[in-house]
Amino acid sequence: MSNPKAAIYWASSCGGCEIAMLELGMNLVDISKEVDIVFWPAALDFKYSDVEAMPNKSIDVSFFNGAIQTSENEHMAKLLREKSKILIAFGACAYGGGIPALANTTSREQIFTRVYKETPTTDNPDGIIPQAKSQVKEGELTIPEFYNTVRTLNQTVDVDYYVPGCPPVGEQVLAVMNSVVSGKLPPKGSVIGASDKSLCDECKRVKGERKIKKIMRTYQVLPDTEKCLLDQGIICMGPATRGGCGAQCLNANMPCRGCYGPVPGVLDQGAKMLSALASNFDSENEEEIQKIAEGVVDPIGTFYRYGLARSLLRRAKA
């Protein structure tokens, strides 16, 4: 009996999910004895034509990390969906849009103007911006089209499973790998490699009577390592975020930023967190409440850092 065939692909993301795979260490060696990796461009010399030549559904499982921000990302998502029996949205960017989806607060034109014309270090007197097609004497050059809206993987193709995290922690990646190898997978559409409870259920910090008088940023205060960060006025996304990461940020005395996505049953992680935060403001006076709320310097970046594309907001209006 032949080994299952696996593919790993990196779309619009930072590459942290690829590092998460490598963090398996010697476990990756053991897994490679039971799984044949037939496509992994970040690690081995594969070409798109190699995948195109494969029979449909010949790949047993594909781990797709990164959001869909370009035509190349979309092409590979559709190609791997066609070639794979199981397609997994791996990591926060594929699952919820991740950091790339913060581009949805603006437009492609505004991004290009800023990046290629306005930044202090840009030397571009002719105001040239990238074009999907350019004619040169040797022929036509093409680069991927940069989309105006960043999408999640399941907004582009059908997805079988979701593994959240920025990146997913090594222990959870190993658990997912073992589930794939053993064939013991939950029903289609499930989130795997994570908990069904909120991060607050994993957090060992002492929770008191939450009365927030002022929103503090992490550089403004040295947090008490034993006390709930929200009790200290530091926004921690724990109440609205799925557990499973081992509370690594909290263990480093930093607040959760929400990379494991919403807790089960929550449609919009940011809205859930806004509700949890506002209900703990220590005032009934409208002006005082407004003053506390003004402590949130970047609401979109705070509450939708990893999930804007899959949220009810999705993007700013054009």
Shared domain check, 153 and 134 = no
Q: Measure the CA–CA gap between 30 and 28, rounded to whole angstroms.
A: 5
Shared domain check, 275 and 213 = yes
Q: Considering the domain boundaries, does residue 70 fall inside one? A: yes
Q: Considering the domain boundaries, does residue 187 fall inside one? A: no
pLDDT, position 3: 86
Q: Considering the domain boundaries, does residue 228 fall inside one? A: yes
Query: pLDDT tens, 67-89?
Result: 999 999 999 999 999 999 999 99
Q: Answer yes or no: are the C-beta atoms of 11 and 39 closer than 8 Å.
A: no
Q: Considering the domain boundaries, does residue 19 fall inside one? A: yes
Query: pLDDT tens, 268-313?
Result: 999 999 999 988 888 888 888 899 889 999 999 999 999 999 999 9
Tokens at 302, concatenated = 């705070």
Q: Considering the domain boundaries, does residue 190 fall inside one? A: no
Shared domain check, 216 and 172 = no
Per-residue tens of pLDDT for the chain, all 318 residues: 688 899 999 999 999 999 888 878 777 777 778 889 999 998 889 898 999 999 999 999 999 999 999 999 999 999 999 999 999 999 999 999 999 999 999 999 999 999 999 999 999 999 999 999 999 999 999 999 999 999 999 999 999 999 999 999 888 888 888 888 788 889 999 999 899 999 999 999 998 877 888 999 989 999 999 999 999 999 999 999 999 999 999 999 999 999 999 999 999 999 999 999 988 888 888 888 899 889 999 999 999 999 999 999 999 886
Shared domain check, 123 and 73 = no
Q: Considering the domain boundaries, does residue 191 fall inside one? A: no
Please give the tally of structural domains in the chain: 3
Shared domain check, 275 and 135 = no
| 176 Cβ neighbours under 8 A, 6+ residues apart | 88, 163, 168, 192, 193
Shared domain check, 116 and 48 = no
Q: Which CATH number goes with the domain that contains 73?
A: 3.40.50.700
Shared domain check, 155 and 14 = yes
Q: Considering the domain boundaries, does residue 192 fall inside one? A: no
Shared domain check, 271 and 130 = no
Domain that holds residue 218: 199-303
Shared domain check, 207 and 93 = no
Q: Answer yes or no: are the C-beta atoms of 177 and 98 closer than 8 Å.
A: no
Q: Considering the domain boundaries, does residue 121 fall inside one? A: yes
Query: pLDDT tens, 183-205?
Result: 888 999 999 989 999 999 999 99
Provide the CB-side half-sphere exposure for 136 (13 A, CA).
6
Shared domain check, 296 and 210 = yes
Domain boundary among 157, 182, 207: 182
pLDDT, position 318: 60
Shared domain check, 141 and 48 = no
pLDDT, position 181: 78
pLDDT, position 1: 65
Shared domain check, 278 and 131 = no
Q: Answer yes or no: are the C-beta atoms of 164 and 89 closer than 8 Å.
A: no
